[in-house]
Amino acid sequence: QFLYFIGPNPASTMMRRSASLLKPFDVVVVGGGPGGYVAAIKAAQLGLNTACIESRGALGGTCLNVGCIPSKALLHGTHLYHDAHTSFAKWGIQGGEKVTMDVPKLMQQKDKAVKGLTSGIEFLFKKNGVKYYKGTGALAGNGTTVEVKGNDGKNETLESKNVVIATGSEPTPLPFLPFDEKKVMSSTGALAMNKVPKHLVVIGGGVIGLEMGSVWGRLGSKVTVVEFMPKCSPFLDGEASDALISALKKNEKMVVKTSTKVVAGTVEGDNVKLELEARDGGKKETLDCDALLVSVGRRPYTKGLLDKVSVKMNKQGFVEIDDHFATSVKNVYAIGDVVNKGPMLAHKAEDEGIAVAEMLAGKAGHVNYDAIPGVIYTMPEVAWVGKTEEELKEAGVKYSVGRFKFVANSRAKAVDTTDGFVKVLTDKATDKILGMHIVNAQAGELIAEGVLAMEYGASSEDVGRTCHAHPTLSEAIKEACMACFDKPIHS
C-alpha cells in the first residue's frame, strides 16, 4: 500500500524503502563459491527473490580465486615451458632448451584469468537479478535471519524464507607449523610465489600437493613429496596411482617419500627444517627446504556463521544434511565442501546448488553421488569416476576388468602422449559399468564419457558398440570397454 505515496515528499520515499526492506527474500545464500553462486543464479532463474553474501569481495570462492582456476593456469603455463625444454627438439623445433620463464609475467596471466571469471559471475548476478552483498553472514533468530557485516563497514539484517549455507572449506594447517604463506604455505601461498624455490617440500601427496609440486618442479625446483600413506593419492585406483607417480618421477624428477610422517618442524631464517619419521616409527631423518607446501587436506569453514543458531555438525565440523540438503534447523539448507556428503569438489557443489534451488522452487532436484568425476591435472592427468578395483574387492563385488593402453592408440601415438591407460570396471553378472579410471594427457576431458555412461546405467557393451571417431584418444575407452565384454581389436 505504500506504493500509493508518490511524489517528492521525503517521508513517502522513506516509507517505500521501508516496505522493500520488510519484504523477505525467498532464498539467502551464504557463500559465493561454486555451490553458492550457482544456487543463487538457479534460484533467481526459477523466480525466487534471491540474495547471496560473499566476504571475499570477489565471487567464485576458493575454486576461482585461489584454487582450481589459478592452479590450472600455472599448470598450463609451466607445461608449455617444460615441453619446450624436453619435447620441442624431437618435432624439429629448435631452441626450446633456451626458453626462459618470467615468473611475474606468469602470475599476471594467472590473475587475468581469475579476474575475468570472477567479474563474469558478478555480471551473471546482475543479469539474473541476484542481490549481492559483499560481507560476512551470520545466522540468527530461527535460522532464517542473516546478519550481514559489510566489507564497507555497514551492517544489515536480512530476513528470508530459506537460507542455504555454502561457506566452503579452508586448508588444514599442521599444529606445529602454522601458515605464514611465505615459507610455510597452503595452496594459496604456493599459487603466488614470485620466484622459483630451490627446494620445495610438499607434505601430502594428494591432488593439490602433486599439482603444485608439478608446477614448481617444471620450473627447476627440487620437489620432495612426503606422504603418510603407502601410496600418494590413496583414493585413486592403485594402478592409476602407480602410473601417475612413475610418470612424475621419470618426467619431472619428483622425489616421493611414502609411509612417512612429519613429526616436527621449525622456520629458521630463510629455511624450514623438518623432522621425518617412518610411518611405523622406524627410520628418522631431517629435511631442509626454502619453501614448504602443507596440503594435508581441507576442513569446513563456518567461522562466526553458526554462533547463534544450533545447526548440527559432526565431529569434524561438517554440517550434517539429509537427502534434501536440509540441516537440523527448519528452512536452513547446506551444500558444498561444508557438508558431510560427497567429495569436496567444485563441480559436486555446483550440482548440489542447482538441486537445492530446484527443490526450494518446488521442483525435483537430484545429485548422483556415485557418478561424480575427479581429476588430477598433472602431466599425465588422472581422471576417475565410480569405484576403484580395491573398493570392489573390499565390498566383495564380483567384477570384470577391461584395460587399454594408450601406447596402442593411434592418436596418442601420432602426438606422442602414450603414457597411461583406460581401465573399466563392470559388474560381472550384468556388465553395468561400476568405475572408469584414465591416465593420459587429456584424461580430464575424456572422463566425461564414463560419467555419462554411469549416469544412464550403461554397460561396457553399450559403450564398446558405440562408434567413436578415428583417430581420437576416446577410442581407448571404446577398446577398454570391448575388453570387458569381449576382446579389444588393437591390443
> Which residues are known to be catalytic?
470
Q: How far apart are CA 490 and CA 117, in angstroms?
A: 42
Helices 103-128 and 34-45, axial angle in degrees (round to 10): 30
Distances (CA, A) of 210 to 20, 35, 417: 51, 25, 20
Nearest 5°: phi and psi at 293? Answer: -105, 120
Buried-exposed string 216-241: b where 16+ CB fall within 10 A, e elsewhere: bbbbebbbbbbbbbebbbbebbebbb
Q: How far from 420 is each of 150, 201, 347, CA to CA, in Å?
A: 50, 26, 25
Q: Measured between alpha carbons, how far is 44 from 120 in angstroms, rounded to an integer? A: 17
CA distance 356 to 378: 33
Taking the C-alpha atoms of residue 190 and residue 274, their distance in angstroms, rounded to an integer, is: 18
CA distance 459 to 283: 48
Distance (Å, whole) CA 244 – CA 248: 6
Burial of 86 (0-12, 13-18, 19+ CB in 10 A): middle
Three cell numbers written together for 35: 555451490
Handedness of CA 77, 81, 82, 88 (dihedral sign): positive
Three-state secondary structure call for residue 297? coil
Among the listed residues 55, 51, 29, the one whose alpha carbon sits nearest the alpha carbon of residue 151: 55
